[in-house]
Structure 1
Amino acid sequence: MKLATYNIQYGIGRDGAYDLARAVKTVATADVIALQEVERGFARTRRDDQPALIEALLPDRHVVYAPLFDRDASERLADGRVRNARRQFGVLTASRWPILSARAEILPKHDGGAFFNLTTGFLETIIAAPAGPLRLLNIHLGHLSEPERLDQIAALARRLAGAADDGGPWSGSDRDAHEWESPEPAPAPIATVLMGDFNTAPGEAAYAALAALVSPEGEAFVDAWTAAAGPGEPAVTYYTNPAQGAFEDSRIDHIFVPAWLGSRLAIRIDADADGSDHQPVFATIPALGRAANAAGDETPEI
């Protein structure tokens, strides 16, 4: 299974040109794709409905969009009717396999005063991967401050802990005559993976808090880059950008996997991608099943 995470900056590349297809093409070979900063209804991107365009660009994928930021963009027409429209900004997950369920959650936001800040959060999806259901959290943490990110990670920790006990997106059976079309039990994920733009780099307090998270399956997480490439390997996912408050190159886009997968994956950062102000991160997992991992089986890539 090939995973990819990419903050596409709504399709505006390092050259300043808007080209959504260029950004999407960069990660199109991955089986499961987590995109951040996907929008609809903004003038800077021609008022495009980017989730719909991405779905068209990836016609063989299952797609779910979570608009973590949502504001009014409607207008009243001359005849008094309202043309409803929303201006939205969020995350999108695409998968080669069915997305069995999806839940979005807004994370805590701090008031930055004169400094621009907006709501962020994550999209939890359960993906019907060949080896068993995979829980994927497509995450975008805030850029405002370290205290905000620490609050967000604390909320994320509570959500992960609660997921072990809430029975999934649905539970039990429906006695109502109006069927919910879900007679099967909710899927029980065999692994949880966290991917996205975390706006925090190794050595920072928020990164340490991320590394201390525990999955609903009771597993510790590891940074896939550190586990597979080694902490000494050069790695940049966001280059120096003083206009955005970034005064040095950093690695702020991550993939966290269960510790038992850490030694079995391959990872790379596409340093040549120019479809955004971030660089995409790819991880290839040869097997999801813990039994195969414990036995040392050479399970084919899934």
Structure 2
Amino acid sequence: MAASGSSEFISRCGHPNSAWQSQNAVTRKEKRMNTAPNGGQARRIIRQRAMALGVDTRGKLGASPAHRKPRLSRAKTFHNLPPMNNPSPVRRKLRPPNWLLLVLLVPLVAGCASRSVPEPAAPATFRVMTFNIHHGEGLDRRVDWERIAAVIRAEGADLVALQEVDRGTARTARRDLTAELAALTGMTGIFSNNFAFQGGEYGNAILSRFPVRHWTNLHYRMLRPGEQRGLLLAEVEVRGRPLRFLNTHIDYRPDDTERLANVEEIAAAVAAWVGQGSAVIVAGDFNDVPGSRVWRRLGEQFHDAWELVGTGDGFTFPADAPRRRIDYVWFAPTNGLRPLRAWVPETQASDHRPVVVEFAWP
């Protein structure tokens, strides 16, 4: 602290004498007497005068020049001087305000937090369901699409492949089942008409919690008379990436000729996507069991999710006492897509039980 500032400070405290000037006087005399032959007596005199002024010189006299500067004793430091009604700027500088301490500490705390190691991000997951809903008719023969919606919500499905869906038919009171289920689940609905029925339409549908970018419906080339079957294809955007999601319901007759022809068309429809490494999922009612020719042909291009992560037999039909596994979720082993687990919820909302698969997509 400069001598002029100290003198101003002391004088504003109401002291008649300047402590700093007195110290300077003592220091100059101390230097002269320390070099005199009778240095011991000189030091005693200096101490006596210094103590009278409140200057602590113990251990300092006779030391090296760097340590000769006297200092105020603890008994009469600035902090112990009488209180002032109007503190000087010098005193205000000695004690920084609390807000300044906070400002200085915040970057330190933030710096410590920024050095912490972040937890590894969990892989993004989503759930796929396939469900033959039997136009909303349950085992009690009541048409109740609210029960169907309740199953979808309970399982937390993000993509749903629905088979045997009515729109505007007499047996479902001319209602649009896809639109109603979409409203009940908060999802986007897509309906594909495969043939006319009871004054309305009959086919498959997709419900998606993700944005739908494009969709189309392909009719299979049927080899013999019977119900027209189809393949509903949709491109959805899952967290910024495209996913091809396909839904189908193929022929039910004991002879697998029609089913084999249907799966050949599925393979052709997705060949380009699979070849490019795109993420592809095919779900639906395939009306055939594991180990069959239909199952083996699909296995040449896709993986059966239940075979990899399912527990138990995976039977889905009939719903009251399932004895057959005919509902599947297949996926192309590309683009990092992999199943985590699969299960079959118990329900009597339809004559089939649904299959749910949870996928991870890093």
- TM-score, normalization: structure 1? 0.71
Distance 1:52 1:212 in 2: 36
The one-letter code sitting in structure 1 at the alignment partner of 2:271 is A
| Residue of structure 2 equivalent to 1:138 | 247
Which of the numbers 194, 211, 218 marks the counterpart of 1:68? Answer: 194
- Shift of the alpha carbon at 1:70? 3.0
The one-letter code sitting in structure 2 at the alignment partner of 1:102 is W
The answer to whether structure 1 residue 283 and structure 2 residue 362 are counterparts is no
Alignment check: 8 A CA contact 1:268 1:281 kept:
yes
In structure 2, the gaps of 5 or more residues are 1-125
> Would the alpha carbon gap of residues 189 and 14 (structure 1) be closer, same or farther in structure 2, given more than 3 Å must change?
farther
Which of the numbers 173, 177, 180 marks the counterpart of 1:46? Answer: 173
> Would the alpha carbon gap of residues 10 and 229 (structure 1) be closer, same or farther in structure 2, given more than 3 Å must change?
same
| Residue of structure 1 equivalent to 2:330 | 256
Q: Deviations over 1:17-51 (max 9, x none)?
A: 11111012211221111111111232222222212
Alignment check: 8 A CA contact 1:108 1:148 kept:
no
| Residue of structure 2 equivalent to 1:148 | 258
> Would the alpha carbon gap of residues 263 and 161 (structure 1) be closer, same or farther in structure 2, given more than 3 Å must change?
closer
- Shift of the alpha carbon at 1:190? 3.6
Which of the numbers 204, 212, 235 marks the counterpart of 2:300? Answer: 212
Distance 1:189 1:92 in 2: 26
Distance 1:53 1:265 in 2: 30
Higher RCO structure, 1 or 2 (CA under 8 Å, sep 6+):
1
Alignment check: 8 A CA contact 2:305 2:339 kept:
no
- Shift of the alpha carbon at 1:90? 1.0
> Would the alpha carbon gap of residues 239 and 262 (structure 1) be closer, same or farther in structure 2, given more than 3 Å must change?
farther
Give the number of the structure whose residues are more often helix, by fraction.
Answer: 2
> Would the alpha carbon gap of residues 111 and 255 (structure 1) be closer, same or farther in structure 2, given more than 3 Å must change?
same
Aligned counterparts, 1:90-239, within 5 A: 90-112=203-225, 117-130=226-239, 132-144=241-253, 145-162=255-272, 190-213=278-301, 221-229=302-310, 233-239=312-318
Give the number of the structure whose residues are more often strand, by fraction.
Answer: 1
Structure ID, larger Rg: 2
Aligned counterparts, 1:83-94, within 5 A: 87-94=200-207
Q: Deviations over 1:76-132 (max 9, x none)?
A: xxxxxxxxxxx21111111111100001101122335xxxx3011111111110151
The one-letter code sitting in structure 1 at the alignment partner of 2:174 is R
| Residue of structure 1 equivalent to 2:78 | none
Alignment check: 8 A CA contact 1:139 1:198 kept:
yes
Alignment check: 8 A CA contact 2:169 2:197 kept:
no
Once superposed, which parts of structure 1, at least 4 consecutive aligned residues long, lie more than 4 Å away? 162-165, 260-264
Distance 1:189 1:69 in 2: 34
- Shift of the alpha carbon at 1:3? 1.0
Distance 1:223 1:100 in 2: 26
Alignment check: 8 A CA contact 2:315 2:322 kept:
no
| Residue of structure 2 equivalent to 1:3 | 128
- The share of aligned pairs that are identical, in percent, is 28
- TM-score, normalization: structure 2? 0.59
In structure 1, the gaps of 5 or more residues are 74-86, 166-187, 214-220, 242-246, 290-302
Alignment check: 8 A CA contact 1:126 1:189 kept:
no
